[in-house]
Amino acid sequence: MSAQVATTTVATAVPLLAVRGVKTYYGNIIALRGVDLEVHDGEIVTLIGANGAGKSTLMMTIFGNPRAREGQILYEGRDITHMPTHEIVRLRIAQSPEGRRIFGRMTVLENLQLGATIADPARFEEDLARVLRLFPRLKERIDQRGGTLSGGEQQMLAIARALVSRPRLLLLDEPSLGLAPLLVKQIFAAIRELNEREKLTVFLVEQNAFHALKLAHRGYVMVNGEITLSGTGRELLKRPEIRAAYLEGGRR
Protein backbone atom coordinates (compact mmCIF):
# COMPACT_ATOMS: atom_id res chain seq x y z
CA MET A 1 0.00 0.00 0.00
CA SER A 2 2.47 2.62 1.14
CA ALA A 3 4.29 3.95 -1.88
CA GLN A 4 7.85 4.58 -0.79
CA VAL A 5 8.65 7.13 -3.47
CA ALA A 6 11.56 9.46 -2.92
CA THR A 7 9.50 12.52 -2.19
CA THR A 8 12.38 14.27 -0.49
CA THR A 9 13.97 15.38 -3.74
CA VAL A 10 10.73 16.42 -5.39
CA ALA A 11 9.48 19.64 -3.87
CA THR A 12 5.85 18.79 -3.30
CA ALA A 13 3.25 21.16 -1.99
CA VAL A 14 1.67 18.37 0.04
CA PRO A 15 2.78 18.73 3.67
CA LEU A 16 4.29 15.69 5.36
CA LEU A 17 1.82 16.04 8.19
CA ALA A 18 -1.36 18.05 8.07
CA VAL A 19 -3.83 18.42 10.90
CA ARG A 20 -7.13 19.84 9.73
CA GLY A 21 -9.89 20.97 12.06
CA VAL A 22 -9.17 18.25 14.58
CA LYS A 23 -11.39 18.04 17.63
CA THR A 24 -10.59 15.56 20.39
CA TYR A 25 -12.63 14.81 23.47
CA TYR A 26 -12.00 12.99 26.72
CA GLY A 27 -15.48 11.69 27.36
CA ASN A 28 -17.58 14.82 27.03
CA ILE A 29 -14.76 17.21 27.79
CA ILE A 30 -13.29 18.86 24.76
CA ALA A 31 -9.50 18.92 24.67
CA LEU A 32 -8.79 20.09 21.12
CA ARG A 33 -11.20 22.65 19.67
CA GLY A 34 -10.44 22.36 16.00
CA VAL A 35 -6.68 22.41 15.48
CA ASP A 36 -5.06 23.19 12.13
CA LEU A 37 -1.36 22.89 11.52
CA GLU A 38 1.15 21.62 9.00
CA VAL A 39 4.60 20.14 9.12
CA HIS A 40 6.58 20.12 5.88
CA ASP A 41 9.28 17.73 4.87
CA GLY A 42 12.65 18.66 6.39
CA GLU A 43 11.27 21.18 8.87
CA ILE A 44 11.55 21.49 12.61
CA VAL A 45 8.19 22.72 13.82
CA THR A 46 7.47 23.44 17.42
CA LEU A 47 4.25 23.67 19.32
CA ILE A 48 4.40 25.68 22.52
CA GLY A 49 1.79 26.34 25.13
CA ALA A 50 1.06 26.20 28.83
CA ASN A 51 0.27 23.13 30.89
CA GLY A 52 -3.02 21.58 29.91
CA ALA A 53 -3.28 23.46 26.62
CA GLY A 54 -3.70 20.19 24.74
CA LYS A 55 -0.23 19.77 23.24
CA SER A 56 0.26 16.19 24.33
CA THR A 57 -3.30 15.36 23.40
CA LEU A 58 -2.53 16.52 19.88
CA MET A 59 0.59 14.33 19.79
CA MET A 60 -1.41 11.31 20.81
CA THR A 61 -4.33 12.17 18.52
CA ILE A 62 -1.93 12.05 15.57
CA PHE A 63 -1.36 8.41 16.58
CA GLY A 64 -5.06 7.74 16.93
CA ASN A 65 -5.10 7.34 20.71
CA PRO A 66 -7.40 9.12 21.58
CA ARG A 67 -9.01 9.39 18.18
CA ALA A 68 -10.03 12.70 16.65
CA ARG A 69 -13.80 12.95 16.79
CA GLU A 70 -13.87 15.53 14.03
CA GLY A 71 -11.41 16.71 11.43
CA GLN A 72 -8.65 14.93 9.56
CA ILE A 73 -5.04 13.98 10.01
CA LEU A 74 -3.15 13.58 6.75
CA TYR A 75 0.27 12.07 6.28
CA GLU A 76 1.73 12.73 2.83
CA GLY A 77 -1.80 13.61 1.82
CA ARG A 78 -3.16 10.29 2.99
CA ASP A 79 -5.92 10.21 5.59
CA ILE A 80 -4.65 8.41 8.70
CA THR A 81 -7.32 9.66 11.10
CA HIS A 82 -8.87 6.23 11.59
CA MET A 83 -5.83 4.02 11.11
CA PRO A 84 -4.80 1.68 13.98
CA THR A 85 -1.90 3.10 15.99
CA HIS A 86 0.62 0.40 15.07
CA GLU A 87 -0.08 0.95 11.37
CA ILE A 88 0.48 4.67 11.69
CA VAL A 89 3.88 3.85 13.21
CA ARG A 90 4.61 1.72 10.15
CA LEU A 91 4.38 4.84 7.99
CA ARG A 92 7.63 5.79 9.73
CA ILE A 93 6.30 8.27 12.23
CA ALA A 94 7.90 7.86 15.64
CA GLN A 95 7.16 9.46 18.95
CA SER A 96 9.02 10.09 22.15
CA PRO A 97 5.96 10.64 24.30
CA GLU A 98 5.09 12.70 27.31
CA GLY A 99 6.58 11.22 30.46
CA ARG A 100 9.14 9.21 28.42
CA ARG A 101 7.34 5.91 29.01
CA ILE A 102 10.46 3.78 29.12
CA PHE A 103 9.82 0.06 29.53
CA GLY A 104 11.23 0.07 33.05
CA ARG A 105 11.61 -3.66 33.56
CA MET A 106 13.41 -4.15 30.28
CA THR A 107 17.02 -3.45 29.48
CA VAL A 108 18.14 -0.48 27.44
CA LEU A 109 18.87 -2.87 24.58
CA GLU A 110 15.38 -4.38 24.74
CA ASN A 111 13.84 -0.91 24.78
CA LEU A 112 15.77 -0.13 21.61
CA GLN A 113 14.82 -3.46 20.03
CA LEU A 114 11.21 -2.57 20.68
CA GLY A 115 11.81 0.81 19.12
CA ALA A 116 12.94 -1.04 16.00
CA THR A 117 9.71 -3.09 15.82
CA ILE A 118 8.81 -1.74 12.40
CA ALA A 119 12.37 -1.53 11.06
CA ASP A 120 14.19 -4.08 8.93
CA PRO A 121 15.70 -6.59 11.43
CA ALA A 122 18.69 -7.15 9.15
CA ARG A 123 19.77 -3.57 9.69
CA PHE A 124 19.28 -3.49 13.44
CA GLU A 125 22.98 -3.56 14.36
CA GLU A 126 23.64 -0.63 12.09
CA ASP A 127 20.64 1.34 13.39
CA LEU A 128 21.66 0.57 16.95
CA ALA A 129 25.21 1.77 16.38
CA ARG A 130 23.82 4.97 14.89
CA VAL A 131 21.70 5.93 17.91
CA LEU A 132 24.41 4.88 20.36
CA ARG A 133 26.82 7.23 18.61
CA LEU A 134 24.32 9.98 19.22
CA PHE A 135 23.88 9.06 22.89
CA PRO A 136 27.12 7.33 24.01
CA ARG A 137 25.81 7.26 27.57
CA LEU A 138 23.30 4.60 26.60
CA LYS A 139 26.08 2.36 25.38
CA GLU A 140 27.49 2.15 28.90
CA ARG A 141 24.05 1.30 30.21
CA ILE A 142 23.02 -1.11 27.47
CA ASP A 143 22.28 -4.09 29.75
CA GLN A 144 20.82 -2.04 32.57
CA ARG A 145 17.09 -2.00 33.17
CA GLY A 146 15.31 1.10 31.90
CA GLY A 147 13.78 1.84 35.30
CA THR A 148 17.19 2.22 36.92
CA LEU A 149 18.38 4.98 34.59
CA SER A 150 18.47 8.61 35.67
CA GLY A 151 15.86 10.99 34.31
CA GLY A 152 18.21 12.40 31.70
CA GLU A 153 19.29 8.95 30.58
CA GLN A 154 15.66 7.89 30.31
CA GLN A 155 14.98 10.89 28.11
CA MET A 156 17.91 9.95 25.88
CA LEU A 157 16.58 6.42 25.72
CA ALA A 158 13.10 7.61 24.80
CA ILE A 159 14.53 9.67 21.93
CA ALA A 160 16.89 6.88 20.87
CA ARG A 161 14.01 4.40 20.92
CA ALA A 162 12.05 6.66 18.59
CA LEU A 163 15.05 7.19 16.30
CA VAL A 164 16.20 3.60 15.97
CA SER A 165 13.39 2.80 13.54
CA ARG A 166 14.70 5.46 11.09
CA PRO A 167 11.55 7.59 11.11
CA ARG A 168 10.81 10.27 8.55
CA LEU A 169 8.83 12.26 11.06
CA LEU A 170 9.81 12.44 14.71
CA LEU A 171 7.36 13.68 17.32
CA LEU A 172 9.03 14.80 20.53
CA ASP A 173 6.92 15.61 23.55
CA GLU A 174 8.81 17.84 26.01
CA PRO A 175 12.27 16.35 25.66
CA SER A 176 13.63 18.99 28.05
CA LEU A 177 11.23 18.26 30.91
CA GLY A 178 13.04 17.86 34.21
CA LEU A 179 16.50 17.91 32.72
CA ALA A 180 19.57 19.91 33.67
CA PRO A 181 20.23 22.88 31.31
CA LEU A 182 23.39 21.29 29.96
CA LEU A 183 21.52 18.15 29.00
CA VAL A 184 18.76 20.16 27.37
CA LYS A 185 21.41 21.81 25.26
CA GLN A 186 22.85 18.45 24.25
CA ILE A 187 19.47 17.05 23.30
CA PHE A 188 18.53 20.13 21.27
CA ALA A 189 21.90 19.98 19.52
CA ALA A 190 21.24 16.36 18.68
CA ILE A 191 17.84 17.24 17.22
CA ARG A 192 19.35 19.98 15.06
CA GLU A 193 22.08 17.67 13.85
CA LEU A 194 19.58 14.97 12.88
CA ASN A 195 17.51 17.51 11.04
CA GLU A 196 20.44 18.96 9.14
CA ARG A 197 22.36 15.78 8.42
CA GLU A 198 19.62 13.20 7.94
CA LYS A 199 16.80 15.51 6.81
CA LEU A 200 14.70 14.25 9.68
CA THR A 201 11.45 16.16 10.03
CA VAL A 202 10.75 17.05 13.65
CA PHE A 203 7.57 18.12 15.37
CA LEU A 204 8.48 19.29 18.83
CA VAL A 205 6.18 20.05 21.73
CA GLU A 206 7.82 22.19 24.36
CA GLN A 207 7.19 24.30 27.42
CA ASN A 208 10.73 25.52 27.18
CA ALA A 209 9.61 28.04 24.58
CA PHE A 210 12.86 29.96 24.21
CA HIS A 211 15.00 26.99 23.25
CA ALA A 212 12.28 25.48 21.12
CA LEU A 213 11.60 28.62 19.11
CA LYS A 214 15.31 29.21 18.58
CA LEU A 215 15.69 25.70 17.24
CA ALA A 216 12.55 25.51 15.12
CA HIS A 217 11.94 26.82 11.63
CA ARG A 218 8.33 27.48 12.47
CA GLY A 219 6.20 27.46 15.54
CA TYR A 220 2.61 27.31 16.69
CA VAL A 221 1.19 28.52 19.98
CA MET A 222 -1.62 26.57 21.56
CA VAL A 223 -3.95 28.00 24.17
CA ASN A 224 -6.79 26.04 25.63
CA GLY A 225 -7.08 23.54 22.78
CA GLU A 226 -6.72 26.07 19.97
CA ILE A 227 -3.90 27.42 17.86
CA THR A 228 -3.73 31.13 18.57
CA LEU A 229 -0.51 32.15 16.84
CA SER A 230 1.87 30.81 14.27
CA GLY A 231 4.92 31.99 12.42
CA THR A 232 8.63 31.43 12.06
CA GLY A 233 10.60 30.80 15.20
CA ARG A 234 12.22 34.22 15.03
CA GLU A 235 8.94 36.04 14.53
CA LEU A 236 7.32 34.32 17.46
CA LEU A 237 10.28 35.04 19.70
CA LYS A 238 9.80 38.74 19.07
CA ARG A 239 6.08 38.84 19.75
CA PRO A 240 5.38 40.68 23.01
CA GLU A 241 2.53 38.38 24.04
CA ILE A 242 4.82 35.35 23.68
CA ARG A 243 7.58 37.03 25.63
CA ALA A 244 5.12 37.88 28.37
CA ALA A 245 3.39 34.52 28.57
CA TYR A 246 6.21 32.05 27.94
CA LEU A 247 9.58 33.71 28.23
CA GLU A 248 9.58 36.14 31.12
CA GLY A 249 8.40 34.14 34.04
CA GLY A 250 4.74 34.02 33.13
CA ARG A 251 4.03 37.74 33.62
CA ARG A 252 0.70 38.72 32.09
Partner 1 sequence: MEIFVQQLINGITLGSIYGLIAIGYTMVYGIIGMINFAHGDVFMVGAFLALIAFLALVAIGVTAVPLALFLVLLIAMALTSLYGWTVERLAYRPLRHSFRLAPLISAIGMSIVLQNYVQIAQGARVKPLPPLIQGGYTLIDNDVFIVRLSNVQILVVVTTLALMAVFSWVIARTRLGRDMRACEQDLKMASLVGVDVDRTISLTFVIGAALAAVAGIMTLLYYGVIDFYIGFVAGVKAFTAAVLGGIGSLPGAMLGGLLIGLIETFWSAYFSSEYKDVAAFSILIIVLIFLPTGILGRPEIEKV
| 135-173 burial: b if 16+ Cβ within 10 Å, else e | bebbeebeeebbeebeebbbbbbbbbbbbbbbbbbbbbb
Nearer to partner 1, 52 or 99 (CB): 99
Name the residue among 1, 15, 19, 18 with its Cα closest to residue 68. Answer: 19
From candidates 22, 63, 205, 245, binder to partner 1 by CB under 8 A? 63
CA distances (Å), origin 239, targets 59, 127, 170, 244: 25, 41, 27, 9
The C-alpha torsion from 132 through 137 and 142 to 143, rounded to 10°, is: 180
Each residue 130-169 as x (binds partner 1 by CB under 8 A) or -, in order, gives -----------------xxx-x--x------x---x----
Least distance to partner 1, CB of residue 204, Å:
17
Nearer to partner 1, 35 or 149 (CB): 149
Each residue 91-120 as x (binds partner 1 by CB under 8 A) or -, in order, gives ---xx-x-x-x-xxxx---x--xxx-xx--
Task: Count the site residues for partner 1 by CB under 8 A.
Answer: 29
- Enumerate residues 17-56 that contact partner 1 by CB under 8 A: none
Nearer to partner 1, 124 or 210 (CB): 124
Positive or negative, the Cα torsion across 7, 8, 11, 16? positive
Distance CA 101, CA 17 (A): 24
- CB-CB neighbours of 99 under 10 Å: 12
Nearer to partner 1, 21 or 151 (CB): 151
Least distance to partner 1, CB of residue 145, Å:
9
From candidates 69, 78, 86, 185, binder to partner 1 by CB under 8 A? 86
CA distances (Å), origin 26, targets 59, 61, 66, 102, 181: 14, 11, 8, 24, 34
Nearer to partner 1, 118 or 247 (CB): 118
* Site residues, partner 1 (CB under 8 A): 63, 65, 84-86, 89-90, 94-95, 97, 99, 101, 103-106, 110, 113-115, 117-118, 147-149, 151, 154, 161, 165
